[in-house]
Amino acid sequence: MSKKPEATVETLRIARLAHKGDGVAESEAGQIFIPYTLEGELVSAKVQGPRAELKEVIEPSAHRVAPVCKHYGTCGGCSLQHMDEASYKDFKRQQVVDALASRGIESAVEDVVVCDKGSRRRAVFAAVKAGHKVLFGYHTAKSNRLVDIEECPVIAPEIMKAVPGLRRLAGEVLPRKGELKFTVTTTQSGLDVAISGLGKNKDKHYLQLSQGAVENDLARLTVDGETIIEIRPPLLDMSGAAVPIPAGGFIQAALSAENTMGDLLAEGLKGCKRVADLFCGAGTLTFKIGQFANVHAVEGEASSLKALDLGLRRAKGLKKVTTERRDLFRRPIVAKELDNFGKGYDGVVFDPPRAGALAQAQELAKSPVKKIVAVSCSPASFARDMRELLDGGYEIKRVVPIDQFLYSPHVEVVALLERSA
């Protein structure tokens, strides 16, 4: 086993930022990545191999600002709070520009639409025992060490308000070793909490778990996939429809981001009469489409489709909505299905996981579908899929980055495409 190189303290100049937001300094040994730095800064850092720990900013950038959270630099949840607004937005937009350029795509990329502080409606916490104390919070970057949080400016205030009570509940059920994961989501009915990691200890803690849910006024408490207690159905408003979300199921992180996506797809699908909503989840965009077009919603996850179907029973004023469970990675909707002898879909929306939708994009490229709205949480896989569509005869009309993971390097992107005449 090779030994790690010895750590040395060095003075370095930051040449640029990498795609995850770390500063990059050039040295005789190669590139060195230093988090929490900005282009042009002179810094002192503890260097070990290609990575370094920032010790001091000797010459700060004019774009450096004070972080908005006391845990910044130790909590691994945010990495860009030291950027001013203009450079922050430029960095996020450039992620999309660079990804497209890597595939030979030159397209105008609009300014980033940024969500507000305190608007993230889901948080994932870890809980562990440290002696007689319970730590409840986030892992530090690239470490298993846990930061016991006292504040978090990015999550919804009602989630942060619930942390002390959830910390107490964790203390009652935590095993001696190991950690638990708490996924906490705001809903119209209150907080929906899903705990994972209890395993066989779940059965002996039913009473504490149920009492904890009541004491914390949770809408629902789920442990390792089993609903312990549901006081009120946890509902999310999806374009006017109240949808009972599956525990820990996919949702857009910020409601404002979801609304922006909804406005963009309404623009991108204008005039469409029949739309396929692929990777539809629990209906994040389905209900918006159903307001102006017939929609066929396709998803591989059974619990998400069940939530969508329940939401449809409550919804009013929609066009015809049908659903299908299908693994689109293994069995994408092929060009012939999309055409259906000229009676198929004139619009398609796809919003896949981070891996993207290569197989589906290849089929769309061979199809006669007139309009496509592509949504992605990964600029890299987005650009790859765009290349397939452009090669198949589509034109990009708009590319809009959306920032719903504030102060992180992640960025969503929405593209509107039309088939060339």
Domain ranges, ordered by start, for the chain: 8-64, 90-114+242-419, 122-187+190-232
Q: How confident is the model at residue 77 (pLDDT cuts 50, 70, 90)?
A: confident
Q: Is the pLDDT of residue 333 over 90?
A: yes
Q: Which residue has the higher pLDDT, 72 or 142?
A: 72
Q: Does domain 8-64 have CATH number 2.40.50.140?
A: yes
Measured between alpha carbons, how far apart are the two ends of the chain, in Å? Answer: 60
Asked whether the beta carbons of 418 and 394 are under 8 A apart, the reply is: yes
Indicate the CATH number of 122-187+190-232 among 2.40.50.1070, 3.40.50.300, 1.10.390.10, 2.40.30.10. Answer: 2.40.50.1070
Find the mean pLDDT for residues 82-98.
97
Supply 286's token pair: 């389905």
User: Which fold does the domain 90-114+242-419 belong to in CATH?
Assistant: Rossmann fold (3.40.50)
In the chain, count of helices (H) and strands (E)?
Answer: 9, 22
Q: Is the pLDDT of residue 365 over 70?
A: yes
Q: Residue 113: what pLDDT?
A: 97
Whether residue 226 is annotated as binding a ligand: the answer is: no
Q: How confident is the model at residue 3 (pLDDT cuts 50, 70, 90)?
A: low
Name the pairing type of β-strands 371-376 and 412-419.
antiparallel
The 10s digit of each residue's pLDDT in 208-250 is 999 999 999 999 999 999 999 999 999 999 888 899 988 888 8
Q: What whole-number percentage of the chain has pLDDT above 70?
A: 99
Q: Is the pLDDT of residue 394 over 80?
A: yes
In the chain, the largest separation of any two C-alpha atoms, in whole Å, equals 69
Q: Do domains 8-64 and 90-114+242-419 have the same CATH topology?
A: no
Nearest in space to 386 (alpha carbons), one of 344, 416, 342, 341? 416
Q: Is the pLDDT of residue 84 over 90?
A: yes
Find the mean pLDDT for residues 325-338.
95
Asked whether the beta carbons of 205 and 195 are under 8 A apart, the reply is: no
The 10s digit of each residue's pLDDT in 255-272 is 999 999 999 999 999 999
Find the mean pLDDT for residues 358-366.
97
The 10s digit of each residue's pLDDT in 293-318 is 999 999 999 999 999 999 999 889 99
180-187 β-sheet, strand order? 146-148, 133-139, 122-130, 180-187, 190-196, 220-223, 226-230
The 10s digit of each residue's pLDDT in 156-185 is 999 999 999 999 999 999 988 889 999 999
Find the mean pLDDT for residues 384-405.
97
Q: Residue 86: what pLDDT?
A: 96
Question: What is the rounded CA–CA span in Å between residue 192 and residue 337?
Answer: 38
Q: Residue 2: what pLDDT?
A: 57
Asked whether the beta carbons of 95 and 80 are under 8 A apart, the reply is: no
Q: The pTM is what?
A: 0.92
Q: How confident is the model at residue 320 (pLDDT cuts 50, 70, 90)?
A: very high
The 10s digit of each residue's pLDDT in 126-163 is 999 988 899 999 998 777 789 999 999 999 999 999 99
Q: How confident is the model at residue 379 (pLDDT cuts 50, 70, 90)?
A: very high
Mean of the per-residue pLDDT values of the chain: 94
Whether residue 258 is annotated as binding a ligand: the answer is: no
Whether residue 299 is annotated as binding a ligand: the answer is: yes
Alpha helical stretches, state H, 68-175: 85-102, 157-173
394-403 β-sheet, strand order? 113-114, 394-403, 412-419, 371-376, 347-350, 274-278, 294-299, 321-325
Q: Is the pLDDT of residue 1 over 70?
A: no
**Catalytic positions, please?**
377
Asked whether the beta carbons of 191 and 218 are under 8 A apart, the reply is: yes
Whether residue 150 is annotated as binding a ligand: the answer is: no
For residue 338, how far is the Cα from the chain centroid?
Answer: 28
